Amino acid sequence: MINPAYHQAEFLISAATLKGLPPEQGREVAFAGRSNAGKSSAINTLCRQRALARTSKTPGRTQLINFFALDDTRRLVDLPGYGYAKVPEAMRRRWGQLMSAYLAQRACLRGLVLVMDIRHPLTPHDWQMIGWAHARQLPLHVLLTKSDKLKRGPMMDTVRRVARALGDDGVTATVQPFSALKKQGVEDVHGVLDCWLFDDTDGAADGGG
């Protein structure tokens, strides 16, 4: 059973700078990935909404952090995409500063979902995101999306290969195939998100004081 909160997700705010972030209350989970990897499609699929996070065929235009509220205390965050060749150097630098600061400083951030096209995993920018998450021991879950593009054998080979590459690098992460198109792997992601956003059994304070 999928938590109905996802279905009720609503756009909250877009932030272009750290100053524009919503207050540090409750919990949030961020989605990162290169432009066109399928991040917005994944968020829409997970929330069972068609156009919550806009999906686009012309990537690289926006550098906004988009917040979606599940309820008063829980948010999904669509981070600006990266790796788009035509982005000017100054914009790329600005992206790096914004991402590294957000990932390092955002205390209510409970986990990072890294979305990678299963046909093009682990680009240098992906490793950068992984490094920033690892630096603060932020839980990491990898979605190898567009899994509908591969047959089952190559799909599972890629899942194992990515998991091994992360492990070899000393990174703790869970890895799964996902398809927004075929709705594959949706329940697995929800299991992870529920744990990060809704689970109270770890005794972690929820900013309630």
Interaction site with Mg ion (CB under 5 A): 39-40
Choice from 66, 158, 176, 179 touching ligand GDP (CB under 6 A): 179
Nearer to ligand GDP among residue 41 and residue 176 (C-beta): 41
Q: CB of 29: closest distance to Mg ion in angstroms? A: 16
Nearer to ligand GDP among residue 3 and residue 55 (C-beta): 55
Nearer to Mg ion among residue 41 and residue 158 (C-beta): 41
Phi then psi dihedrals of residue 101, to 5 deg: -70, -45
Q: Where are the alpha helices (DSSP H) in the chain?
A: 4-7, 39-46, 89-105, 124-135, 152-168, 186-198
What burial class does residue 195 get, using C-beta atoms within 10 Å of its C-beta: 0-12 exposed, 13-18 middle, 19+ buried?
middle
CA atoms 63, 120, 31, 131: torsion sign? negative
Choice from 26, 29, 35, 75 touching ligand GDP (CB under 6 A): 35
Nearer to ligand GDP among residue 39 and residue 74 (C-beta): 39
Phi then psi dihedrals of residue 20, to 5 deg: -85, 0
Residue nearest to Mg ion (CB): 40
Residues that bind ligand GDP (CB under 6 A): 33, 35-41, 55-57, 59, 81, 145-146, 148-149, 179-181
